[in-house]
Amino acid sequence: MKKFVSAMLAATMALSLAACGSTADTSSEASESTSTAASTDSTAAESGATGEAASGTPIKLGGIGPITGATAVYGTAVKNGEELAVNEINAAAGYTVFDWKFEDDEGDAEKALNAYNTLKDWDMQVLVGPVTSTPSLSVGAETVNDNMFMLTPSASAEDVANCGDNVFQMCFTDPNQGKVSADYIADNALGTKIGVIYDSSDAYSTGIYDAFTTEAEAKGLEIVTAEAFNSDNKSDLSTQLAKCSDAGADLVFLPIYYTEASQILVAANKSGYEPTFFGCDGMDGILAVEGFDTSLAENLMMLCPFSAYGEDETTKTFVSAYEEAYGSTPNQFAADAYDCVYAIYQCVQAGKINGDMSASEICDALKTEFTTMSFGGTTGENQTWDASGMISKAPKVYVIKNGAYELAA
């Protein structure tokens, strides 16, 4: 036993030492999509076909998100969205604009920091991630120290943007979503008695819930009951629903992800309870749940920047390319991630950053660029950021009709 363990230790030490010695040159072996495109660098630089000032040196783009564990489904969507955008950009430009690598964080702060450090060893220049709030907070504090530009597609806690002036969000903040939802419900008189079911173990859900209750009170909406569940007891949500029903709620606000929401809709159908359901951006994706009877989601409303059924050209291109590549309809996680990469590409095209700059120089350039530019993508036109890194874009409320999203009047 002892011998075995010491042998293991020796091996580990050797491995870590070997890793130390070779950071500079061999690290890109491990990345996923980089090696394929890397060889085209030189030719593209020589031909200079695009006529841009941009040099052929690729910008190293790192992504972090959960691709294993309980929240893997959201991380995978982000990963796919980023991958798709990077591949499209590289193919369209004719040379490798972005070198891209994605690391798993299992939705955990410690693992996220490990992933971030691994990407730093790979000489990452821009970070697109992490996906969920707690890992983003832990990584965000580090990026401030390193002056590394961080653009998170979906970590919507307000504290994330407040980490530092180098941290930007592609999604609405939680309080903003809660407030806008309450305003919308009040202004359109969607319900008089409101029930809420939220995930008390989830930062996203509690963040929206808190802001929603405050604003609802200000707007004179009556919240008759607020029921929580957590990640350990979410298999049975019928009691929470029954309590909303018993309290006479005619609108149930669901600031939760679509995985649990689909379960609530099934349970409501079983018990014959038919209030208006209203969700936030986490709800997007519910129609793509395999095996889910989409008729149950009829008339479901949600506040969401993205609709896979959108008619504009950007969205159509994105949705069809995504469906072809990954065999499923993209949700707002994928769309936000896709937009993140394109937003950074916009800065590349404007000649503000290139692969020869250091991560810190890129960060400074992007900070000024992001606070002054306006970006149009799959999640909306004319998106702008304020100095704190929070986004401003037009909120849209969709309602599900005949298995597709329609803009609510």
Partner 1 sequence: MTKLKNLKKSTKSNLITFGIVILFYIVVQILSGADLLTSSFSGQLVPICAYVVLAVSLNLTVGILGELSLGHAGFMSVGAFAGTLVWVLLCETAPAWLALILAFVVGGIAAGLFGVVVGVPVLRLSGDYLAIVTLAFGEIVKNFMNACYLGYDSTGIHFSLKDSASMGLADDGVVLINGAMGITGVTKASNFTIGIVLVLITLIVVLNLIHSRAGRAITAIRDNEIAAQSIGIQITRYKLMAFITSAVFAGLAGVLYSLNFSTLVAKKFDYNTSILILVFVVLGGIGNIRGSVIAAAILTVLPELLRSMNDYRMLIYAIVLIVMMIFNQSPQMIAWRKRIAERFAARRAKGKHPTKEVG
Partner 2 sequence: MQFLSYLINGISLGSVYALIALGYTMVYGIAKMLNFAHGDVIMIGSYVIFFAFGSFGLNPILSIVLSMVVCTILGVTLERVAYRPLREAPSLAVLITAIGVSYLLQQVAQLLWTSSPKSFQSVVGLAPISLFNGELTISGETIVTIVACVVIMVGLIWFVNHTPAGHAMLAVSEDRGAAQLMGVNVNATISLTFAIGSALAAVAGALLCSSYPTLQPTTGAMPGIKAFVAAVFGGIGSIPGAFLGGILLGIIENLSKAYISTQLSDAIVFLVLIIVLLVKPTGLLGKKVNVKV
**Contact positions toward partner 2, by CB under 8 A?**
67-70, 72-73, 76, 200, 227-233, 235-240, 242-243, 246, 258-260, 262-263, 266, 270-272, 288-293, 328
262 binds, among partner 2, partner 1, none (CB under 5 to 8 A by kind): partner 2
293 binds, among partner 2, partner 1, none (CB under 5 to 8 A by kind): partner 2
Nearest Cα to 203, choosing from 129, 278, 109?
109
Q: Which is nearer to partner 2, 73 or 144 (CB)?
A: 73
CB of 200 to partner 1, least distance (A): 6
**CA-to-CA dists, residue 366 to 83, 167, 401, angstroms:** 21, 10, 40
Q: At what angle do helices 238-246 and 258-271 cross, to 10 degrees?
A: 60
Is the previous residue joined to 130 through a cis bond, with omega within 30 degrees of 0? yes
CB of 349 to partner 1, least distance (A): 30
CB of 176 to partner 1, least distance (A): 16
CB of 80 to partner 2, least distance (A): 11
Cα 75 to Cα 73: distance, rounded to the nearest angstrom: 6
Q: Which is nearer to partner 2, 206 or 383 (CB)?
A: 206
Q: Which is nearer to partner 2, 114 or 201 (CB)?
A: 201
43 binds, among partner 2, partner 1, none (CB under 5 to 8 A by kind): none
Nearest Cα to 119, choosing from 131, 137, 97, 104?
104
Q: Which is nearer to partner 1, 96 or 213 (CB)?
A: 213
Q: What is the number of other CB atoms lying within 10 angstroms of the CB of residue 69?
A: 14
CB of 273 to partner 2, least distance (A): 10
Nearest Cα to 268, choosing from 295, 237, 292?
237
CB of 92 to partner 1, least distance (A): 26
Residues that bind partner 1 (CB under 8 A): 1-2, 4-6, 8-9, 12-13, 15-17, 19-21, 23, 29-30, 32, 67-68, 103-104, 108-110, 113-118, 120-121, 133-134, 137-138, 140-142, 157, 159, 163, 199-203, 205-207, 209-210, 213-214, 226, 228, 230-232
Q: Which is nearer to partner 1, 223 or 289 (CB)?
A: 223
192 binds, among partner 2, partner 1, none (CB under 5 to 8 A by kind): none
Q: Which is nearer to partner 1, 211 or 400 (CB)?
A: 211
Q: Which is nearer to partner 1, 67 or 131 (CB)?
A: 67
23 binds, among partner 2, partner 1, none (CB under 5 to 8 A by kind): partner 1
Structure tokens at 85: 């955008």
Torsion angle of the four alpha carbons 364, 366, 371, 376, in this order, in degrees rounded to the nearest 10? 180
DSSP secondary structure of 141-174 = HHHHHHT-EEEESS---HHHHTT-TTEEESS--H
240 binds, among partner 1, partner 2, none (CB under 5 to 8 A by kind): partner 2
**CA-to-CA dists, residue 67 to 72, 88, 137, 160, 377, angstroms:** 4, 22, 18, 21, 25
Token pair 């890397």 in the structure block, residue: 38
Cα 271 to Cα 265: distance, rounded to the nearest angstrom: 10
CB of 75 to partner 2, least distance (A): 8
> What is the identity of the amino acid at 19?
A
Q: Which is nearer to partner 1, 253 or 306 (CB)?
A: 253
287 binds, among partner 1, partner 2, none (CB under 5 to 8 A by kind): none
Q: Which is nearer to partner 2, 67 or 170 (CB)?
A: 67
164 binds, among partner 1, partner 2, none (CB under 5 to 8 A by kind): none
Q: Which is nearer to partner 1, 30 or 350 (CB)?
A: 30
Alpha-helix runs per DSSP H in 22-98: 23-26, 34-38, 41-47, 72-93
CB of 176 to partner 2, least distance (A): 24
* Cα-only R_g, the chain: 22
C-alpha dihedral sign at 93, 150, 333, 252: negative
328 binds, among partner 1, partner 2, none (CB under 5 to 8 A by kind): partner 2
In angstroms, the first-to-last Cα distance of the chain is 70
Q: Please, what is the Cα angle at 133 between 131 and 135, to 5 degrees?
A: 75
**Is-contact 247 224, C-beta < 8 A?**
yes
